[in-house]
């Protein structure tokens, strides 16, 4: 056998017999290795997927590749998780600092010895703080739905944790609604009707919708916990509905803070006072928090994997 090179209309020998035989031996060795690997795969049984690609659990190289991809995804997820937690806690810290520094805090001294009381203004302060905490806790509970494993041995534990956190968030939000109700009632004239002073703004209407959605979500969560047959079927729609609830709650919180700032600060709101900047910054943090929730819930849970064609 000779390897021939064509130049114009002539041919010339470029390899002698020894070099060509060495190349042939190397090629035959590679071919034998490929055939041997192919036969080993076939002898191992049904190791391929219907689309002709090899499963990673039977191929060490692919398994190591997928493990590296999973480790990379875990690092990225932890990065976004850390940002998510930092932004959520920053929202809580911002509303606390603003209230203590500029708006009378959360308690005042009572006329009774060794006692404290809450003024009507402080009821409003509690409303915004508890709503923010409830939103933060509720957002964290969504990721228990997303990362929930369907393993029978772990199903009950994960579901119980989710129900407990969701119930705590629901209770905190209910206290927030009571706080704003008490604030409105204490500022009403004595001869006014029961509905006057309530539910007259866009913020209150959106907040009521968020409260109703939160209640429906909590009831469905309890039902899924009591009846395990509903858990698997309820996970995908439950996660989506939770995202809608967080969106409506965030809109209610931002509109409430904006209306509160305009009503309270009046002219100072248009002069870029420190308190107005804090409240505006708080609103932006809530929006960033919402975007992080949407990204982490809607992003693919698994990356595209690379499979090797076995034939």
Q: Specify if 49 maps to a domain.
A: no
pLDDT of residue 210: 96
Same domain, 145 and 204: yes
Q: Indicate the pTM of the whole model.
A: 0.71
Structural domain total, the chain = 2
Q: Specify if 48 maps to a domain.
A: no
Q: Specify if 123 maps to a domain.
A: yes
Q: Report the chain's mean pLDDT, rounded to a whole number.
A: 76
Q: Specify if 63 maps to a domain.
A: no
pLDDT of residue 145: 65
pLDDT at position 147 over 50 = no
- What average pLDDT does range 155-163 have in this prediction? 64
- 223-264 pLDDT, tens digit per residue, is 877 877 776 666 667 778 889 999 999 999 999 999 999 998
Q: Specify if 248 maps to a domain.
A: yes
Which residue range forms the structural domain that includes residue 14? 4-43
Cβ neighbours of residue 142 closer than 8 Å, sequence gap 6 or more: 239, 242, 243, 246, 293, 297
Read off the CATH number of the domain in which 152 is found: 1.20.120.1770
Percent of the chain whose pLDDT exceeds 90: 37
Same domain, 26 and 115: no
Same domain, 31 and 78: no
pLDDT of residue 2: 43
pLDDT at position 176 over 90 = yes
pLDDT of residue 67: 53
pLDDT of residue 16: 52
- 52-90 pLDDT, tens digit per residue, is 444 444 445 444 444 544 555 667 678 888 999 999 999
DSSP, collapsed to helix, strand or coil, labels residue 107 as coil
- What average pLDDT does range 264-291 have in this prediction? 93
Same domain, 252 and 110: yes
Greater pLDDT, 16 or 167: 167
Greater pLDDT, 217 or 150: 217
Same domain, 34 and 146: no
Q: Specify if 239 maps to a domain.
A: yes
pLDDT of residue 71: 56
């Amino acid at each position: 056998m000779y390897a021939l090179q064509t130049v114009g209309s002539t041919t010339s020998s470029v390899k002698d017999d020894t070099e060509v035989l060495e190349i042939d031996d190397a090629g035959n060795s590679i071919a034998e290795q490929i055939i041997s690997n192919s036969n080993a795969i076939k002898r191992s049984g049904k190791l391929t997927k219907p689309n002709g690609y090899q499963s990673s659990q039977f191929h060490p190289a692919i398994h190591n590749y997928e493990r590296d991809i999973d480790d990379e995804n875990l690092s990225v997820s932890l990065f976004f998780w850390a940002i998510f937690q930092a932004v959520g806690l920053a929202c809580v810290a911002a509303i606390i600092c603003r209230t203590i520094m500029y708006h009378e805090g959360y308690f005042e001294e009572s006329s009774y010895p060794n006692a404290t009381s809450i003024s009507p203004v402080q009821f409003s302060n509690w409303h915004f703080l508890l709503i923010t905490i409830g939103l933060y806790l509720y957002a964290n509970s969504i990721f228990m739905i997303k990362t929930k494993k369907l393993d029978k041995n772990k199903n009950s534990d994960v579901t119980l944790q989710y129900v407990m956190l969701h119930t705590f968030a629901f209770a905190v939000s209910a206290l927030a609604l009571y706080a704003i109700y008490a604030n409105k009632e204490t500022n009403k004239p004595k001869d006014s009707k029961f509905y006057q002073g309530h539910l007259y703004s866009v913020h209150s209407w959106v907040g009521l919708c968020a409260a109703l959605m939160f209640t429906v979500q909590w009831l469905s969560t309890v039902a899924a916990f009591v009846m395990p047959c509903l858990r698997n079927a309820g996970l995908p729609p439950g996660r989506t509905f939770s995202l809608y609830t967080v969106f409506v709650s965030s809109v209610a919180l931002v509109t409430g803070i904006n209306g509160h700032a305009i009503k309270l600060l009046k002219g100072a709101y248009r002069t870029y006072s420190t308190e107005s900047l804090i409240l505006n910054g708080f609103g932006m943090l809530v929006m960033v928090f919402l975007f992080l929730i949407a990204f982490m819930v809607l992003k693919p849970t698994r990356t595209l994997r690379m499979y090797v064609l076995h034939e």
